[in-house]
A and B are shown apart, each in its own frame.
Chain A
């Protein structure tokens, strides 16, 4: 075992990469939950995003079009959730589960031709001067653009929720859908928009795994990241910046355990691989005492009676 082989600068840089899929999926789900909807289909939307993005990137040769396709794919799958929960008024927990089960099947069906294929590369940016700085350069200025976009989405969601009327209306709908309806807001339309946004973000997160982090396509490659994203929203108390913090924390755990595996620590590989899931449980336990910041209408079915 050789811990000195672990380079802290590379570790931080790679934890940011590991955190990005989680961060994208979680910020999307955060918006969905702030609108009062619980979509447990994040895992399904991510994996569909992962294969849609992968397939389109391979076919077109453009990773950018791939990401666009991933967002569309995730949103399309979330449209099924919209039909179930907003039109057919089905139970949100069951609908979310069905989305995940369906998404996992659909993705492996779509992905059959892409096993073992190499996707086009997304180059890391290089800003002369900044990227060459010691320590800060590799950590802050040498990533792919999607990583920055992810942080950008968090900032945008934060600003929209806090400062804009649209954000205020979204929060109002999540807080008390009956009151929002009485004031004349289109509860269902607003929720549909939020769910589609959540689907698109989850799709981007999935594609980040298949196009950048791994990069290749294997069945079930999201391996529970979507579920961890759901836990992350609880961890973040439904606050955007805390999603960023939480994602980097989880990314850190993942990267550290991978590094320990590589360094040949005396703990069996399987037990190291368990750690992200165990950490998630631990975090949930610590934070679940405080539910006060959860949107009050979360998971409740809305049906305008008149």
Chain B
């Protein structure tokens, strides 16, 4: 008979190993799924994980890794702070949209003026937009005890409608022949989040993501606020006893994660995407939840997990083109990863013991 015994303390080894085991299990079961869909599983796995890095067109795909990974890491870092404290912001997608709108909006307001300060102002506006959108659930939670999960999620749908309205109305390109969508910021030098080194995919969002990783690492390991975040997640009552003010922590965590999601939106809209359009958002805000968990809510882990998830996006696109693997299969693949991770997490805190059934 299999029994679970709680470990006296969490196992460090399993804590590091579970993400790897989860990735392997996902490859196995994902391969089975691809096989059922009529694709050669080995080829599919190879295409997803090998092709973007070392394949024939790797020179094209490798920069894409940074482009896709940066927003995921940026958002996931913010989310992980809240998740660690038991504050569940799952509306990052909405904060991402609003950040892109406020950021792009500021840029477009200056059009066609060229000036060095336009892009920095857009960055500030993007962060502010995301922060403001995330502060709505924060204030409602602090003031009325409203569940932040539901409110932040509802605000995603509101933000999507808002995005539609903006790309059809206020931000619509006046010279766009009536098509929805804003001017293309890639063609507006002062507002363009261009590559810092051409051909590397390295844009300001990547820099911001790396800074965020370092910032979060220092915060969580060396700073009182980080300790309070961890303490609140581990034992909320002990945190209050210790002197943590829950309201302040909620505002901080949701605010920071919103600002980072807003930044991610701004860097995307001003760079790779180029314009505000009805379906400009592609679900980074939700995938970042997987990234945060896969990285075990640890800054360095999130960096690695973001890279891995970006790989599945790019590899998935290749597999879509070359093998005809449906896009949704990649989404299922990513979901599976989260499943295995959560299930295997058991081993961090519990020991599985095989014992003979007890004799009465």
CB–CB under 8 A between A and B in the complex? yes
- A274 with B162: in contact, given A90-B346, A98-B338 (CB under 8 Å)? yes
Beta-carbon contact of B147 and A234 below 8 Å: yes
Query: Contacts of B161 on A, CB cut-off 8 Å?
Result: 270-271, 273-274
Q: Is the CB of A101 within 8 A of B144?
A: no
Shortest Cβ gap from A209 to chain B (Å) = 16
CB contacts (< 8 Å) of A91 on chain B: these are 342
Q: Which residue of B lies closest to A226 (CB)?
A: B153
Given contacts A98-B335, A102-B332, A273-B161, contact A88 B147 (CB under 8 A): no
> Are B343 and A280 in contact, with the CB atoms below 8 A?
no
Q: Are B334 and A101 in contact (CB under 8 A)?
A: yes
For the complex, give the distance between the alpha carbons of A102 and B157 in Å.
Answer: 19
Query: Range of interface residues on chain A?
Result: 35 or more
Q: How far does the Cβ of B134 sit from chain A's closest Cβ, in whole Å? A: 14
Is A109 in contact with chain B by the CB < 8 A criterion?
yes
Q: State whether B158 touches A274 (Cβ < 8 A).
A: yes
Q: Are B336 and A280 in contact (CB under 8 A)?
A: no
Known A-B contacts A94-B293, A108-B331; A84 and B343 likewise in contact (beta carbons under 8 Å): yes
Residue from A103, A105, A219, A281 in contact with B155 in the complex, judged by beta carbons closer than 8 Å = A281
For the complex, is B220 an interface residue (Cβ under 8 Å from A)? no
Complex CA–CA separation, A264 to B88 (angstroms): 38
Is A303 an interface position by the 8 A CB rule? yes
Task: A284 to B141: give the CA distance in the assembly, Å.
Answer: 10
**In chain A, residues 145-183, which have Cβ atoms closer than 8 Å to a Cβ of chain B?**
none
Contacts of B104 in A (CB 8 A): none
Across the interface, do B6 and A281 meet the contact criterion of CB distance under 8 Å? no
B289: Cβ under 8 A from any A Cβ: yes
In whole angstroms, what is the CA distance A268 to B168 when docked?
10
User: Chain A residues with Cβ under 8 A from B147's Cβ?
Assistant: 231, 234, 284, 288
Pick from A89, A101, A223, A291: contact of B145, CB below 8 A: A291
Task: State whether A101 touches B154 (Cβ < 8 A).
Answer: no
The secondary structure that dominates the B interface is helix
* B150 contacts A280, C-beta separation under 8 Å: yes
From the candidates B164, B169, B286, B330, name the one contacting A101 in the complex (CB within 8 A). Answer: B286
Bound complex: CA A112 to CA B332 (Å): 14
Question: For A103, what are the chain B residues with a Cβ–Cβ distance below 8 Å?
Answer: 335
- Whole-angstrom distance from the CB of B165 to the nearest CB of chain A? 4
**Bound form: Cα–Cα A288–B350 in Å:** 35
| Total number of residue pairs linking A and B with CB closer than 8 Å | 135
Write out the residue numbers on chain B whose beta carbons fall within 8 Å of the beta carbon of A207.
none
Contact A284:B293 (CB < 8 A) given known A90-B343, A93-B88, A105-B332:
no
A42 CB to nearest B CB, Å: 11
A37 located at the interface, meaning its Cβ lies under 8 Å from any Cβ of chain B in the complex: no
Q: Are B342 and A231 in contact (CB under 8 A)?
A: no
From A83, A105, A109, A281, B343 is in contact (CB under 8 Å) with: A83
Interface string of B324-344 (1 = CB under 8 A from A): 001111111111101100111
A270 x B162 contact (CB < 8 A): yes
Please state if A105 and B331 are interface contacts (CB–CB under 8 Å).
Answer: yes
Complex interface bits, A258-297 against B, C-beta within 8 A gives 1, otherwise 0: 0000000000101101100110110011001101000000
The distance from the CB of B330 to the nearest CB of chain A, in whole angstroms, is 8
Interface string of B1-43 (1 = CB under 8 A from A): 0001010000000000000000000000000000001000000
Hey, which chain A residues are within 8 Å of B328, CB to CB? 105-106, 108-109, 112, 219
Q: Contacts A223-B157, A271-B165, A303-B4: A84 and B342 contacting too (C-beta < 8 A)?
A: yes
Chain A residues, Cβ within 8 Å of B145 = 288-289, 291
Q: Cβ of A109 and Cβ of B329 under 8 Å apart?
A: yes
Q: What's the Cα separation between A40 and B289 when bound, in Å?
A: 14
Residue A230 at the B interface, CB < 8 A?
yes
Query: Which residues on B sit within 8 Å (CB–CB) of A230?
Result: 150
Known contacts A102-B335, A102-B338; A277/B157 CB under 8 A:
yes
Report whether A274 and B290 are in contact in the complex, using a CB–CB cutoff of 8 Å: no
* B123, CB-defined interface residue at 8 Å: no
Find chain B residues with CB under 8 A from A90 CB: 342-343, 345-346
A11 proximal to B (CB < 8 A):
no
In Å, the complex CA distance between A165 and B50 comes to 58
B311 interface hit (Cβ, 8 Å) = no
A93 vs B162: C-alpha distance in the bound complex, in angstroms?
28
B216 at the interface (CB under 8 A from A): no
Annotate B188-205 by CB proximity to A: 1 below 8 A, 0 otherwise: 000000000000000000
Shortest Cβ distance from B85 into chain A, in angstroms?
Answer: 13
Q: Are A281 and B164 in contact (CB-based, < 8 A)?
A: no
Interface check B260, CB cutoff 8 A: no
Nearest A residue to B88 via CB reads: A93
A68 at the interface (CB under 8 A from B): no
> What 0/1 pattern do residues 276 to 294 of B give for CB contact below 8 A with A?
0000000000100110010
CB-contacts of B141-181 with A (<8 A):
144-147, 149-151, 153-155, 157-158, 161-162, 164-165, 168-169
Task: Tell me the complex Cα distance, A258–B151, Å.
Answer: 23
Task: Answer yes or no: B319 CB below 8 A from chain A CBs.
Answer: no
Interface assignment of B140: CB less than 8 Å from any CB of chain A: yes
Task: Name the distance in Å between B120's Cβ and chain A's nearest Cβ.
Answer: 31
Closest to B331 in A: A105
Give residues in B with beta carbon < 8 Å to A: 4, 6, 37, 88, 90, 140, 144-147, 149-151, 153-155, 157-158, 161-162, 164-165, 168-169, 286, 289-290, 293, 326-336, 338-339, 342-346, 349-350
Residue pairs across A and B with Cβ atoms less than 8 A apart, 5 shown, are: A109-B37, A109-B329, A273-B161, A281-B154, A289-B145
